[in-house]
Structure 1
Amino acid sequence: MRTWLAASGATVLLMAVATLTAAAADEALRVCLDEDLPPLSMHHRGAPDSGFDVTLAEAIAQKLGRPLKIQWFESKLDEDSSPALEANALLSDGRCSLVGGYALTKDSLVVPGVKTAKLPDFQGATRDDRRRRVPLGVLAPSEPYIYSPLTVVLGPKARDRRIAGVGDLASLRIGIESGTLADAILMTFGDGKLIDDITHLVPGRDDLLGALDRGDFDATLLDLRRFDAYRAAHPDTRLAPSGYYFPIGANRGYVGLASDPALLDAVNKALSDLQGAGTIAELGRAAGLTYLPPREPAILGDEMLRVLQK
């Protein structure tokens, strides 16, 4: 009798585990993506969702055996915005379990210095959502899946100029966006060697690459992703890639909450499998990205600060 009861109890336990496993498989993998970050992720009315991070999220969800649900959000480009706090608020509010395309830097992964933060504008947000503050958790990164460097882009009059380093921009007319990392790099290079060649533009107001394309400037330094997006939108552009990448850049990956390590472990396994099969590189090229695989350090620390202090 006892043997029968034990066997029966074991059967019930196995059935319960199987039920829980099936339920987990049916649960959607919820990923938050920026709605206007081409060619990584794009969500515009009247057009299908597209971008590298969209197809990568689909591939990971398939690996995990789960349906995919994308939560689109809009990141504000202003002095008061914080990508780290926006991502944390979305995750902590349960809007998603992962935020994709996240720049993996030491500063972006620190324990938040505030207890609450406002949510960014997201698809389906109500008036109350825009007002309330969300108690924050602690962020934890996945393994990186793409490297995002700064690159020099050349205008029509300088498209044949050989660029092997920032110093080769001397004597060229340089356009740069004020207050950006690229601005700090160029303004401090060689104790101000390039200052007289630099014209500053206002981010979000002035069209840097459009001005460069018109011949107003000869060169700029900016995120490779933005150049890829511009080329996709302007197939007849006269801009030319220099092939030079500033030696210190940031990887991009997923970020989730440290309270859910099992999910990040599963995502890392999926990323490793996809990377090993060459799938991630293929998805990048199909999306119009100049795909560069992740580089060490996986999480950018104080390396950039040391460069700027030289």
Structure 2
Amino acid sequence: MRRCLSIWSVAAILLAAPLVASAAAAEDPLKICLDEDRPPLSVHRKGKPDAGFDVLLAQAVAERLRRPLAIQWFESRLDEDSSPQLEANALLSDGRCSLVGGYALTQDSLVVPGMKTARLPDFAGATRDDRRRRVALGVLAPSQPYIYSPMTVALGPKAKGRKIGDIGDLAGLRLVIESGSLGDAILMTFDKGRLIDSITHLVPGRDDLLGALERGDHDATLIDLARFDAHRAAHPDTAITASGYYYPIGANRGYVGLASDGALIEAVNKALSALAAEGRIAEFGRQAGLTYLPPREPAILGDVWTKIIQR
């Protein structure tokens, strides 16, 4: 009799073990890295609640996976040793998070990095040693996209009401653009340089692109749609207006993780599909003040620069 009880006890323990492991996994936080200063996608301000489209989406994905959410905030930096691809890879490879949100899904951003190591971007909780050390990089793997991120033409007060259906409709306007940006490449190469003489270049990070357009110093610019949304939210009385035109070459955004974490990417894809089917992702966009556009084909954008030059 005692032997039978012993056998049943062992069996009960073995059957319970997977349940215990499952419960432990459910308690493991879903760590997602988000840029702290990319309104209206993600915003982290001291003394204020975290906000933005990607914050709302991250909360919903974690809820679907039945895991608590832990956001690792980071701050992008621009130098010769860094890029959005390397920053994301370093954060993931260092275990700071399992996913990076709001990642532009292009072939260039998903290739195996040419560098073996990279520095971490500044992140919440970083120490002096963290800012100095280099991280061995892994291979990135994308989730399915959850939003389409195009560029749009924004019009200054003197060009209000101008009909824009193509880049060629900008002819005759005083154009302004940040040097070295994607918008710069588009405008400078359009129709073999037809717009060059009407373009004024500003230095990113030093000159105020939208401020110059607001003052009426220029008539139009080509800018990321989310950045324009952020300006309108911060300046409800802005004199800058939307043209309604979207440049036809744009990138989807989604999550990116490490290729070695394929099970998580698969689970996240299922969550994103369910949320999209319920209309919740579009609703998150409205709540965040974002002009939400659903993902478009191709899911991963190919050679952007060749496409632009050939137009």
State the TM-score bracket (shorter-chain normalisation).
Answer: over 0.9
1:252 corresponds in structure 2 to: 253
Bigger shift: residues 114-123 or 8-17 = 8-17
> Considering only aligned residues, what root-mean-square deviation do their CA atoms show, in Å?
1.5
Aligned equivalents of 1:239, 1:12: Cα separation in 2: 67
Residues of 1 paired with 2:270 and 2:10: CA distance?
33
Matches within 5 A, 1:1-310: 9-310=10-311
Give the conservation status (yes or no) of the 8 Å contact 1:100–1:255: yes
Using the TM superposition, give the Cα deviation of residue 303 of structure 1 relative to its aligned residue in structure 2, in angstroms.
Answer: 5.0
**Structure 2 CA distance for aligned equivalents of residues 3 and 101 of structure 1:** 57
Q: Distance in 2 between matches of 1:7 and 1:109?
A: 52
Q: 1:259 is paired with a residue of what secondary structure?
A: helix
- Secondary structure of the structure 1 residue equivalent to 2:260: coil
**Rounded Cα–Cα distance in structure 1 between residues aligned with 2:47 and 2:28:** 28
Structure 2: distance between partners of 1:303 and 1:124: 36
Structure 1: stretches of 5+ with no match in the other structure: none
Matches of 2:212 and 2:170 in 1, distance apart? 17
* Conserved 8 A contact 2:82-2:118: no
State how many pairs are aligned. Answer: 310
* TM-score of the superposed pair, with normalisation by structure 1: 0.97
SS at match of 1:94: coil
Aligned residue type for 1:117: A
Q: Which amino acid aligns with 2:288?
A: A
Q: 1:8 deviation in Å?
A: 5.2
Q: Contact 2:164 / 2:170 at 8 angstroms: preserved in 1?
A: yes
* SS of equivalent residue, structure 1 residue 58: helix
Distance, in Å, in 1 between the alignment partners of 2:33 and 2:308 is 33
Tell me, yes or no, if the aligned pair for 2:35 and 2:73 is still in contact at 8 Å: yes
1:175-213 per-position Cα deviation (integer Å, ceiling 9, x unaligned)? 001001110110010111000110000111111111101
**Alignment-mate amino acid for residue 241 of structure 1:** A
- Please give the alpha-carbon distance, in whole angstroms, between the structure 2 residues aligned to 1:96 and 1:297: 27
Unaligned runs of 5+ in 2: none
- Identity between Structure 1 and Structure 2 (%): 73
How big is the shift at 1:7? 5.8
Q: Would you say the 8 A contact 1:106–1:299 is kept in 2?
A: yes
CA contact (8 A) 1:140 1:258 kept: yes
Question: Structure 2-normalised TM-score?
Answer: 0.96
- Aligned in 2, Cα 1:7/1:225: closer, same or farther, shift over 3 Å? same
Structure 2: how far apart are the matches of 1:222 and 1:81?
23
Q: CA deviation at 1:4?
A: 7.6
Q: 1:248 touches 1:304 (CA, 8 Å); kept in 2?
A: no
Equivalent-residue separation in structure 2 for 1:9 and 1:309 (angstroms): 69
Residues 51-79 of structure 1 show CA distances to partners (whole Å, capped at 9, x for unaligned) of 11011100111111111000000001344
Give the drift of 1:302.
1.9
Match of 1:118, as an amino acid?
R
Structure 1 residue 306: deviation in Å?
A: 2.6
SS at 2:292 equivalent: coil
Q: Distance in 2 between matches of 1:304 and 1:274?
A: 33
* Deviation per residue, 1:218-242 (Å, 9 max, x gap): 0000100110000000000011100
Deviation string 1:261-288 (CA, Å, 9 cap, x unpaired) is 1111110000000000000000011100
Shift of 1:14: 2.0
Q: Per-residue deviation at 1:304?
A: 4.5
